[in-house]
Amino acid sequence: MAQVDTAETGQASLRRDTGSGTWRPGIRRVLRIGFRPGPWKRGLVLAALAVLLGLFMLLHAKIPNRIGNLGSLAETVLPWLGLFIPVLLARAVWRRSASAVVALLLPVLVWLNLFGGLLGDKSHPGGDLTVASHNVGAGNPDPVGTARDLAASGADVLALEEITPQAKPLYEEGLAKAYPYHTVRGTVGLWSKLPLSDTQPVDIKLDFGPLADTMDSNRALRTTAATDQGPLAVYVAHLGSARVNARAGFWTDSRDTSAQALGKAIAAERNERVVLLGDLNGTMDDRAFADITSQLRSAQDTAGDGFGFTWPAKFPVVRIDQILVRGVKPESSWSLPATGSDHLPVAAGISW
């Protein structure tokens, strides 16, 4: 019996030695390579770029807007800065640069802290009410088809932006069966399965600047939807446009002014339950929307799946169509299929 035990012990020891022989030399090689000065001296420029990328994302709120609204522009494209990480990593591996690989930990951690929460699906089944919003596009070649698709979406409350005088009767006719209540002010409107009251335009200060003559200044409204749980204040808005040009850089004066005006209107709202639907012409990371985001939360950020990009419809790279809420709970948020517009429709399920 002792001989058997000795044999078994020897075999176990042999297996351990054999197993350790497969990984210990590998670890020793990695340690030898890691402690050599070469890998740490190579790729110092890549390491510096990685650190700068991380600091740029970490300190984006400190980037000034004085020159060409650089801060707002950086915050608009902030999620996409993460694409530089795999590019730098590939270069670091190709250069066998240990310093660059370690330096890349900074932008990775910063990006995950900013946007890691958007990588998963945070939606929940159910919801008392479905709200939707769509910039239908002034150049939409098929408003009848767009109305048909939106009517089939199942939304209880539907906001439209960029309604032209020519297309308005087509939307009214196409949505009449599904939505017995509706109101239109200027280029924005709301269609509802619930009764609406206290409808009024909201002045978002669009009667100035180089684009004033090209825009209908009446691009926001406020109304009250009667729900089983009480009144719900609904705002529909299409904020001023943003433009990129050589002289002004990222020109957002019109949009920023209208965002501030809308923020003041929401601050004066007495109803604790508020939903804002519309094309805000910007992302909610942009500091220009602080007056709004300090009061309302994004349904997509809270209960959506991914980033929920909406523009341009053929290849969305940014979310400028928003659903923001206060006093209600977002249960889910998603983008609807494309229509004839250059924007994707967005929808959200909310509960009390």
On the question of pLDDT at 16 being above 60, the answer is no
pLDDT at 236 over 70: yes
Tokens of 73: 């522009």
Give the pLDDT of residue 244.
77
Residues 99, 40 contacting (CB under 8 angstroms) = yes
Q: What is the pLDDT of residues 318-331, one digit of tens each?
A: 999 999 999 999 99
Distance CA 162, CA 237 (A): 10
Both structure tokens of 267:
């601050």
Q: Percent of the chain scored above 70 by pLDDT?
A: 86
If phi > 0 it is left, if psi is from -120 to 50 it is alpha, else beta; for residue 30 that is alpha
| Whole-number Å distance between alpha carbons of 274 and 167 | 28
Across 191-207, average pLDDT: 94
Is pLDDT above 90 for 23? no
Q: What is the pLDDT of residues 104-136, one digit of tens each?
A: 999 999 999 999 999 999 999 989 999 999 999
Q: 259-284, pLDDT tens digit by residue?
A: 999 999 999 999 999 999 999 999 99
How confident is the model at residue 3, as a pLDDT?
Answer: 46
Q: Is the pLDDT of residue 35 over 80?
A: no
Per-residue confidence (pLDDT) for residue 336, from 0 to 100: 97
Name the phi and psi angles at 224, rounded to 5: -120, 125
Report residue 248's pLDDT band, with 50, 70 and 90 as the boundaries.
Answer: low
In this predicted structure, the answer to whether residue 101 has a pLDDT above a threshold of 50 is: yes
Average pLDDT over residues 281-299: 97
Q: What is the mean pLDDT of the chain?
A: 89
**What percent of the chain lies above the pLDDT cut of 90?**
79
What is the structure's pLDDT at 213? 41
Per-residue model confidence as pLDDT tens digits over 144-163: 999 999 999 999 999 999 99
What is the band of 207 on the pLDDT scale with cuts at 50, 70, 90?
low
Confidence of residue 40 (pLDDT cuts 50, 70, 90): confident
The whole-number pLDDT of residue 42 equals: 87
Q: Is the pLDDT of residue 17 over 60?
A: no
Q: Which has more confidence, 241 or 148?
A: 148
What pLDDT score was predicted for residue 292? 98
Confidence of residue 137 (pLDDT cuts 50, 70, 90): very high
225: left (phi over 0), alpha (psi -120 to 50) or beta: beta
Cα–Cα distance measured from residue 100 to residue 39, given in angstroms and rounded to the nearest whole number:
9
What is the reported pTM? 0.85
Sequence-ordered list of residues with C-beta below 8 angstroms from that of 33, at least 6 positions apart, any chain: 39, 98
Q: What is the SS3 string spanning the chain?
A: CHHHHHHHHHHHHHHHHHHHHHHHHHHHHHHHHHHCHHHHHCCHHHHHHHHHHHHHHHCHHHCCCCCCCHHHHHHHCHHHHHHHHHHHHHHHHHHCCHHHHHHCHHHHHHHHHHHHHHCCECCCCCCCEEEEEEECCCCCCCHHHHHHHHHCCCCCEEEEECCCCCCHHHHHHHHCCCCCEEEEECCEEEEECCCEEEEEECCCCCCCCCCHHHCCCCCEEEEEEEECCEEEEEEEEECCCCEEECCCEEECHHHHHHHHHHHHHHHCCCCCCEEEEEECCCCCCCHHHHHHHCCCEEHHHHHEECCCCCECCCCCCECCEEEEEECCEEEEEEECCCCCCCCCCEEEEEEC
